[in-house]
Structure 1
Amino acid sequence: MKNTINKPIKPLVIGKVGKAYGILGWITIFSFTEKKEQIFSYLPWFFLKDNQWTKITVNNWKKYKNNFIVSVNNIFDRSIIKNFTNANIIISQNTLPLLKKNNYYWNDLINCTVFNTNYNYIGKVNNLIRTKNNDVLIVYNQFSQLKKNILIPFIENQIIKNINIDNKLIIVTWN
């Protein structure tokens, strides 16, 4: 079960491990994927805790409340599985399906430099959030005296004018 030699290529966090569930080695997990069940399409998983990688094989999973519980191959004891509580669930980026041209994953937008249409520097994307109406870029400008995040609605063609993933560049209509 434990294989600390293997670790993901281009690691990507897709979830978090919660607390142990029951006495037979099941554990709660929290999915960060857009469609929560999609986390089970991206295998194998790696748990990262205390700078130690562990490759995981999921035997079984069930929906539990707003999250999931999973059974991990060769772990049948609560005292063993609880050691993974709070570990990140990580995959290799090459596990993700290839996207069509001009499509991208959220993590592709992280660290993109953002300029407005007048070529004024706004900052770098450090996160995104999902709201009921649209996604929002969280942009931080380390040169700004305000030292706060700028929230820019992710509305393509209206506010988001151009995204160039290869050059890590986003052009927006924003002041």
Structure 2
Amino acid sequence: MINISINIPEKPLLIGKVGKSYGVLGWINIFSFTEKKDAIFNYLPWFFFKEKKWKKVQIENWKKYKNHFIVNIKGISDRSITEKFTNSDIIISKHALPLLKKNDYYWHDIINYKVFNTDQRYLGNVINLIRTKNNDILVVKNKSDIFKKNILIPFIENKIIKNVDTKNKFIFVQWN
């Protein structure tokens, strides 16, 4: 039997970004992209990805610091080593996320869903989601080549977003 160490994630998912080193003992700043910022520590192990290179890391300790976190990586106690990780993406394997109940979904799951208005007119495919202070926004690639602009639809459930069909990968919206 071959024993293979997993040093790259399966089904990679971006959850944060590495900032600059903090102090001289090898701590480093990190910025969480998770909805609840400290939930980033629930999804382990982390993989740092920079310049097409992967580095699997284990977190030894972490602290909240201003509007982000500082972490100590297991086995690293030197600033010169952590400086190499600055601007790395923090990636996890998708299977590290908790399983969801039926009809629940993660934001990344609805990318490429087809969007229809309540008149059954096809509007396009979801290509991105934007987080704003007031509500999230669906970015839909307009099906018509005439307009060349994406459609931005506020993600307000029951009012604008009428149904997210996870089985068929459709989203129905109150939109013209």
Q: Work out whether the TM-score is over 0.5.
A: yes
Equivalence for 2:108:
107
Cα distance in structure 2, aligned partners of 1:107 and 1:169: 14
SS of 1:38's partner is helix
Runs ≥4 residues deviating over 4 A? none
Equivalence for 1:69:
70
Q: Which runs of 5+ in 1 are unaligned?
A: none
Cα distance in structure 1, aligned partners of 2:50 and 2:143: 30
Shift of 1:64: 0.8
Cα distance in structure 1, aligned partners of 2:18 and 2:78: 16
Cα distance in structure 2, aligned partners of 1:129 and 1:55: 29
Shift of 1:168: 2.4
CA contact (8 A) 2:31 2:68 kept: yes
Count how many residue pairs are aligned between Structure 1 and Structure 2: 173
Cα distance in structure 2, aligned partners of 1:89 and 1:132: 23
The 3 A distance-change label for structure 1 pair 62 and 50 is same
Shift of 1:145: 2.4
User: Could you give the per-residue CA deviations for residues 64-121 of structure 1, whole angstroms, max 9, x where no partner exists?
Assistant: 1100010111111111111111111011111111112221111111121212122222
Q: Which amino acid aligns with 2:106?
A: Y
SS of 1:80's partner is helix
Moved more, 71-80 or 121-130: 121-130
Aligned-residue RMSD, C-alpha: 1.8
Cα distance in structure 2, aligned partners of 1:140 and 1:100: 28
Cα distance in structure 1, aligned partners of 2:129 and 2:32: 16
CA contact (8 A) 2:123 2:143 kept: no
Cα distance in structure 2, aligned partners of 1:123 and 1:10: 25
Equivalence for 1:83:
84
Q: Which amino acid aligns with 2:43?
A: Y
